[in-house]
Amino acid sequence: MTRSVVLVCALLLLSGCSPKLTPLYRDYEVVMEAAAEQESENQADVTGRIRTALQAAEWQIKAPVTPNVVATAPRLFRQWGLYTVTVELEVAPLYGNHVRLFVHPYRTYITGAKRKIPYLRGSLARSVLKDLHAALEAEGLDHIGTAQSRDRAVLEKD
């Protein structure tokens, strides 16, 4: 019995020290102009806003794999002794009134191996997204968070 109590206490202590992990995407809502246009023209306008915001945040745009997204070239964020952390972004307009930003972080080891990081630590998310949030908001894209954060906000209201 004392072993189980000690184990539970150790787990509680360790869980308080764990890093904050967030999903690899962020959602934005498009603030529409007063005069709504046709959907295809609106889609082109949103894509133009995305490109302008990425360039304002000093991300280099590259040719995307699929034509419906705006992709960026890899950007170095951390350089540790054994590996570097690079990040690529893909921004996809969704149904004209929402935009999803996908973050693709990678570790590139000194051996040349490249591994995708399956989550965003809070510090990496802040360094990657700090200038980008402001640039996207300047283009009329309001940050609405992730599905987890929106669900948490709804539950806290109850």
Which stretches of the chain score pLDDT less than 50?
34-38, 40
Q: What is the pLDDT of residue 104?
A: 92
Residue with tokens 């399956």: 118
Amino acid symbol at 75: R
Which stretches of 53-133 are assigned E, i.e. beta strand?
A: 61-62, 70-72, 75-79, 83-94, 98-109, 114-116, 120-121
Q: What is the 3-state secondary structure (H, E, C) of 23-65?
A: CCEEEEEECCCCCCCCHHHHHHHHHHHHHHHHHHCCCCEECCC
Instruction: List the domains of the chain with CATH numbers.
Output: 20-157 (3.30.530)
pLDDT value of residue 33? 58
**What's the pLDDT at 38?**
45
pTM of the model: 0.75
The single-letter DSSP state of residue 20 is P
Q: What is the pLDDT of residue 63?
A: 92
Q: Are the beta carbons of 126 and 134 closer than 8 angstroms? A: no
